[in-house]
Amino acid sequence: MANYWLMKSEPDEVSVDDALAAPRSTVPWTGVRNYQARNYMRDQMRVGDGVLFYHSSCEEPGIVGIAKVASTPYPDPTQFDRKSKYYDAKATKEEPRWMLVDVKVEKKIPNITLTELRSRPELADMIVLKRGNRLSITPVEAKHWKAIVGK
């Protein structure tokens, strides 16, 4: 059985359009520096899991694409790059601290804004809508996936 995820990206870092323009419409989900979000990628995500591609920290935050997890987890190369804002001096190639998965965008959709998500009673208990939730990756229940994606 597939899992479902909501993955947030700031559009000035990687937008749904950037992902669609990438080879095979696939991008590495770099820069995650929260242990719980990392653990979701490292321990629970599987190739083929569904992803709601969410634009955050922008004028109209919301779900802008439907995607899939496209790789098994592997070390995030930005942790080793001294020029990257995601550099981690404590990470080593032998013992990486940060992992990522590749995400393949299947289609761009009209933005389902945070306001619209909040207005839909069937989505009221989605993790992304809970007060204080700041995680960039959250699990999505099958009922919420079906309400948004329709299958």
pLDDT tens-digit map of 12-46:
999 999 999 999 999 999 999 999 999 999 999 99
> pTM of this prediction?
0.95
Residue 131: how many CA atoms within 13 Å on its side-chain side? 0
Q: Is the pLDDT score of 129 beyond 90?
A: yes
Answer whether CATH 3.30.428.10 is correct for domain 4-146.
no
Amino acid making up residue 87 = Y
Mean pLDDT over each residue of the chain, to the nearest integer: 95
Q: What is the pLDDT of residue 132?
A: 85
Would strands 50-55 and 4-9 be described as parallel, antiparallel, or unpaired? parallel
- At 1, is the pLDDT very low, low, confident or very high (cuts 50, 70, 90)? low
- Establish how many alpha carbons lie within 13 A of residue 41's alpha carbon, considering only the half-sphere containing its beta carbon: 29
H-type helices in 1-141, by residue range? 16-21, 35-39, 114-119
Residue 131, pLDDT score: 87
Q: What is the pLDDT of residues 44-75, one digit of tens each?
A: 999 999 999 999 999 999 999 999 999 999 99
